[in-house]
Amino acid sequence: MNVANLQIEGLMMAVASLTNALVRKGVLSVDEVDLALAKAEAAMTGEDRLQEDLPPANRDAVCFPIRVLRLANGSSDETDICAFSELARMVGQTKHAYNDQR
C-alpha cells in the first residue's frame, strides 16, 4: 500500500476522533457534524470539473474521506469509532451512482 494512503487513513481517523470528542463535549451535535460533512461532499460533487473531467472512480476517490467521516460520525458511540476497514467497507456498500451514470 502507498504510504500516502496510510497517512490519509490516519488523518481521517484522527479527524473522526476529534469530531467524536466535540460531540461528546456538547460543542456540536451528530447532526451538525453530518450537515457540515454533507455540505463539503455536495460542494465537491457539484463542481463542474468533477463532473466533466473525472471518471466516476476518481470522483469516488475525492469523496471517499468525507464519506468515511460521515459514517464514523453516525456510527460512533461515546467512546469508540468503528475501525477504518469497517468504515471503508460501509462506504462501498452505501455509495450511489452519479447523475451522469444513469
Does the pLDDT value for residue 22 go beyond 70? yes
Over residues 2-30, mean pLDDT: 92
Please give the tally of structural domains in the chain. Answer: 1
Determine, yes or no, domain membership for 102.
no
Q: Is residue 47 part of a domain?
A: yes
Q: Is pLDDT of 44 > 90?
A: no
The x, y and z cell numbers of residue 23, run together, are 460531540
Q: What is the average pLDDT across 14-29?
A: 95
Residue 14 maps to a domain: yes
Based on the number of CB atoms within 10 Å of its own CB, is 87 exposed (0-12), middle (13-18) or buried (19 or more)? Answer: buried
pLDDT at residue 1, as a whole number: 63
Domain ranges, residue 9: 3-96
Cell numbers that stand for 12 in this block: 481521517
Residue 101 domain-assigned (yes or no): no
pLDDT digits (tens, 9 = 90+) for 51-91: 667 787 888 888 899 999 999 998 876 668 889 999 999 99
Grid coordinates representing 26 are: 456538547
Tell me the whole-structure pTM to 2 decimals: 0.81
Using only C-alpha atoms, the chain has a radius of gyration, in whole angstroms, of 14
